[in-house]
Structure 1
Amino acid sequence: MPHRRLALIDMGTNTFHLLIVELPDDGQAAPRPLLRTKVGVRLGEGGISAGRIAEPAYERALHALLGFREEIELHQVTDVRATATSAMRVTENGPELVKDIFEQTGIRVEVIGGDREAELICAGVRQAVPLGPERHLIMDIGGGSVEFIIANDTTIFWKRSFEIGAQRLLDRFFPEPSGIMPAEAIVAEQHYLAEVLAQLTAALAEYPPVSLVGASGSFDSLADMQLGQLRPEAELPPSTELALSSFRHSYQQLLSLNHEQRQALPGILPMRADMLVVAAILIDYVLNLTGLTRIRTSAYALKEGLLAEML
């Protein structure tokens, strides 16, 4: 009997991820990863704030899924699970894209809600970071939404998804990101976050965490900046300790450089050079709000959570 192979697709607002694993026959051993890849689709670019997926982004999405389809066939995958999040959840032509993807690739996409997204992210992070019995604040900055989860290794104490992802923050506070982000725009974003994240502030008072665990591209980028080199997806360790001093240094760089200079920073993926500015302001806001000094990154998120749940 051929081995069972699973493909897990996470269609985020910035990046589409594909993970292909082989399941052991006995069900005892851990699944063996065969492929871990991602495509920068920028599904939210030029439209998410207006509630539509723009035509070029729509085409990029179909193109990425056709590429994934080839890999799935090449690896003789037996089961495919595909989930889509914020961009397809809230746009008027999201359902149309789901239909087109199925018609062109045979891949069925499940559009999931913010709460479910937070649960899966937590399940994925638990595979990468040993949380133990203490509470941690898990944060995943997507392009469309940001998930916050207060959890330990067994319990989720509180979770919430906010539609304040990096693409939305960029559209709102830094629409012309060729230069340096103006000081008044930084202040405006901070005020906006204080307003929107009132429920997070209340939850933190009720369930104070001991550390921040960041899942998502922005945190991977900050870990790469700390190292001074861009690591490919397959080489990322499950978790990296991000020194607070390193974050502060990267944050100052991001705020003081223009687009070209940011793109030239070692460890930065060019497509993240602008979003990372507004994402870092959000991370800084959360650090100031909580007073936390320990930051770890998790290379695992939604798709690994889905895998853990399926097993």
Structure 2
Amino acid sequence: MKNKAAVIDMGTNTFHLLMVALGEKSFDTLYKEKVAVKIGQGGISQNLILPDARKRALHTLRHFRELLQGEKIDQIYAFATSAVRNAENGPAFVKEVREQTGIAIQVIDGEREAELIYKGIRMSGCLDQTNALMMDIGGGSVEFIIGNEDQIHWKGSFEIGGQRMLDLFHYHDPILPEEIDKLNQYLFQHLQPLIRAIRQFNPQQLVGASGTFDTLTDIYLAGNQQPKSKSKHKHLLPIQAFREIAAMLTHLNKEKRLAIPGMIPMRVDMIVVASSLICFILNHLAPKDLLCSTYSLKEGALAEMIEKVSAGLELTVQPWQ
């Protein structure tokens, strides 16, 4: 009988629940859900979780707990990232979640986040022997990894996520050219370690994980009237097609962006600055295409569980309170 387990990824913008049955080499999805909690909204630049965001988070986690109990899953792996780890009231929030829902949250640092993202991308089949630059654009932080299917050469986490970039630079809608210029100057200043690593390891491929990259893929496929296969975990987005989409996004206001086929409401605000970040990266890299992995942190956590199952080790069970 397969082990049932679940991963909760508490991102700055979106909370994800993934319930699975684990096999020795793979997993079967039992149920998944994502909720635009926006726990970083309004407070991320002050390193705070504001009361309304806290209420949304607790409401969502209570809902997740009901689903988990209904499925009789007690192996729960809940991860919190940038918004919670940097919030002054983050520890109090973690304690409150445990008291009210019984869910024990692991607040992970950026290095651990990058490692899990890498394992998720590797499971998607996006990597080979060629060095790739992998990136995951969160609301609070952005993780970069350089490596291949065998190993990580370099990894880094930068607190320059979509919500932070939005708060700092996207004051007008559509965004102004001078705001993009200021964003690029900011990125150049803060991403020097990444730029040096690109020069050192010379990645030939760019792989984007989940989130923004899922939406960019959806826009590309919808624009070409192509269906998106749910069974595929990697998708090809030609660089020229991405550049055309990014240029379109910067010239449209929110209402018009929402009308783009493939766009989803939870991405519509941050996708402009996120696309600008990808354009910045492409100025330091010359890949033939952009690969988009539907797998990221959640699946990376599952990959680690599968390794334990394959080794005959027991998974750690989190008891409900």
Q: Is the 8 A contact 1:287 1:293 kept in 2?
A: no
Partner of 1:85: 81
SS in 2 for 1:262: helix
CA distance in 2, matches of 1:40, 1:111: 19
- 2:287 counterpart (282, 286, 292): 292
* Counterpart AA for 1:281: S
Partner of 2:221: 227
CA distances 1:80-100 after superposition (whole Å, capped 9, x unpaired): 110100000101111111111
CA distances 1:61-113 after superposition (whole Å, capped 9, x unpaired): 11111111111011111311101000001011111111111111101000000
1:236 deviates by: 6.7
SS in 2 for 1:300: coil
SS in 2 for 1:289: coil
CA distance in 2, matches of 1:143, 1:171: 11
* Counterpart AA for 1:138: M
Against the structure 1 CA distance between its residues 63 and 121, is the aligned structure 2 distance closer, same or farther, given a 3 Å change threshold?
A: same
Partner of 1:51: 47
TM normalised by structure 1 equals: 0.94
Are positions 1:206 and 2:200 aligned together?
Answer: yes
CA distance in 1, matches of 2:51, 2:31: 29
CA distance in 2, matches of 1:13, 1:94: 12
- 1:124 counterpart (113, 120, 127): 120
Are positions 1:264 and 2:259 aligned together?
Answer: yes
CA distance in 2, matches of 1:247, 1:61: 33
SS in 2 for 1:52: coil
Partner of 1:74: 70
CA distance in 1, matches of 2:95, 2:245: 41
Q: Is the 8 A contact 2:145 2:155 kept in 1?
A: yes
Higher relative contact order (CA 8 A, sep 6+): 2
In structure 1, runs of 5+ residues without a counterpart are none
1:57 deviates by: 1.1
Partner of 1:150: 146
CA distance in 1, matches of 2:54, 2:190: 29
Percent of counterpart pairs with the same letter?
46
In structure 2, runs of 5+ residues without a counterpart are 307-321
Against the structure 1 CA distance between its residues 295 and 278, is the aligned structure 2 distance closer, same or farther, given a 3 Å change threshold?
A: same
1:245 deviates by: 2.0
CA distance in 1, matches of 2:260, 2:91: 38
Q: Is the 8 A contact 1:37 1:234 kept in 2?
A: no
CA distance in 1, matches of 2:259, 2:212: 16
Partner of 2:318: none
Partner of 1:190: 184
State the number of aligned residues. 305
- 2:102 counterpart (95, 101, 106): 106
* Counterpart AA for 2:203: P
* Counterpart AA for 2:102: G
Are positions 1:303 and 2:298 aligned together?
Answer: yes
Are positions 1:95 and 2:91 aligned together?
Answer: yes
1:274 deviates by: 1.6
1:23 deviates by: 2.7
1:293 deviates by: 2.9
SS in 2 for 1:228: helix
Against the structure 1 CA distance between its residues 260 and 236, is the aligned structure 2 distance closer, same or farther, given a 3 Å change threshold?
A: farther
CA distance in 1, matches of 2:109, 2:99: 23
* Counterpart AA for 1:276: I
CA distances 1:8-57 after superposition (whole Å, capped 9, x unpaired): 11111011111111134xxx352221012211111111010111011111
Q: Is the 8 A contact 1:142 1:216 kept in 2?
A: no
Q: Is the 8 A contact 1:166 1:278 kept in 2?
A: yes
SS in 2 for 1:38: strand
Partner of 1:171: 167
Q: Is the 8 A contact 1:236 1:299 kept in 2?
A: no
Partner of 2:245: 250
Partner of 2:273: 278
CA distance in 2, matches of 1:59, 1:135: 43
1:134 deviates by: 1.1
